[in-house]
Amino acid sequence: MTLQTLVSTVQQNMETIADTMSLQSDAIVINQCDSNEYTEYEYEGSRICCYSFNERGVGLSRNNALLRATADILLFSDEDIRYNEGYAQIVVSEFEKRPDADILLFNFDVIEERATYKITKEQRIGRLNCGRYPTYSVAVKREAVMKANITFNLLFGGGAPYSCGEDSLFIMECIRKGLKAYALPVTLGREEPRPSTWFKGYNEKFFYDRGVLYAPLYGCFAKPLALRWLLAHKGTFFANNQEITGVGQAYRLMKQGMKEYLS
């Protein structure tokens, strides 16, 4: 099996990104910047293909990488990921152990305040537990995704109208179309701290956008799952929050977001 790492970046130096990220496989780098150009070079025996586009939106970036990918296995990534030695061989090996798997989700070490998930045991991923994994944790079989005609939603994520969620919608769409997904307690690298491109605090836009996301993600279960999510994290969301002071206010914003998506 062959592997490509698909990297989404904004305004990065293409000459140094392979070394900065410690890339150890062939890679496609989509750099959203203020120009349109293509460069290619070899780094430690791997082919690094760099596309610069004068556009914005992380979903668009990932779709551009998908369209150009050629390897058997594709590992999504971001510019702030630093890989451990041997990560590429680990990903290929884990797929070889599980011939029925179309998607594998991996761990990354992240700073505590940005931690959204931690895989502690191998488990099958389904519709009710697919909503917390970042795109950089995802590796897929290219042929399975292409046959199912799955791409990233352009309405969600950094640079899009709604601030986050393209990762959850991608995984959900894979599962809805019959692809088999597993989460593994295997760490591939770490996420370096940097300012978020979309998170500006637990404000009105945060909860409104999350409501918009829950509508396509969970359908008729969106409202009860939204309330459960708010209650589970109320200690984080509303402690010292001067703008959104409680579950009721946040829940109303989420329902408004759901209504907008369905209108």
Please write the tens of the pLDDT for every residue from 156-177. 988 888 888 999 999 999 999 9
Q: Is residue 197 part of a domain?
A: no
Statement to judge: residues 236 and 149 lie in one domain: no
Q: Report the C-alpha gap between 253 and 212 in whole angstroms.
A: 10
Three-class SS state of 41 = strand
The number of CA neighbours under 13 Å toward the Cβ of 157 is 21
Statement to judge: residues 56 and 9 lie in one domain: yes
Residue in the structure block whose two tokens are 């200690």? 235
Q: Do the Cβ atoms of 92 and 74 come closer than 8 Å? A: no
The domain boundary residue, chosen from 129, 158, 191: 191
Statement to judge: residues 184 and 220 lie in one domain: no
Statement to judge: residues 53 and 175 lie in one domain: yes
The domain boundary residue, chosen from 149, 167, 191: 191
Give the angle subtended at the CA of 53 by the CAs of 49 and 54, to the nearest 5°.
160
pLDDT of 44 over the 60 cut: yes
Stated pTM of the model: 0.92
The backbone torsions φ and ψ at residue 46, rounded to the nearest 5 degrees and listed phi first, read: -110, 150
Q: Report the C-alpha gap between 214 and 165 in whole angstroms.
A: 9
Statement to judge: residues 226 and 123 lie in one domain: no
Work out the pLDDT band at 114, boundaries 50, 70, 90: low
Work out the pLDDT band at 179, boundaries 50, 70, 90: very high
Statement to judge: residues 81 and 182 lie in one domain: yes
Selection from 69-83, 113-127, 128-142 with the highest mean pLDDT: 69-83
The domain boundary residue, chosen from 191, 219, 246: 191
Q: Is residue 40 part of a domain?
A: yes
Question: CB neighbours of 216 closer than 8 A, spacing ≥ 6?
Answer: 153, 169, 261
Statement to judge: residues 234 and 171 lie in one domain: no
pLDDT of 194 over the 80 cut: no
Question: CB neighbours of 13 closer than 8 A, spacing ≥ 6?
Answer: none
Q: Is residue 158 part of a domain?
A: yes
One-letter amino acid of 148: A
The number of CA neighbours under 13 Å toward the Cβ of 139 is 31
Statement to judge: residues 172 and 225 lie in one domain: no
One-letter amino acid of 244: I
Q: What pLDDT sits at residue 119?
A: 94
Statement to judge: residues 152 and 112 lie in one domain: yes
Q: Is residue 199 part of a domain?
A: no
Cα distances (Å, whole numbers) of residue 259 to 158, 204, 222: 22, 15, 11
Structural domain including 257 reads: 204-262
Statement to judge: residues 26 and 128 lie in one domain: yes
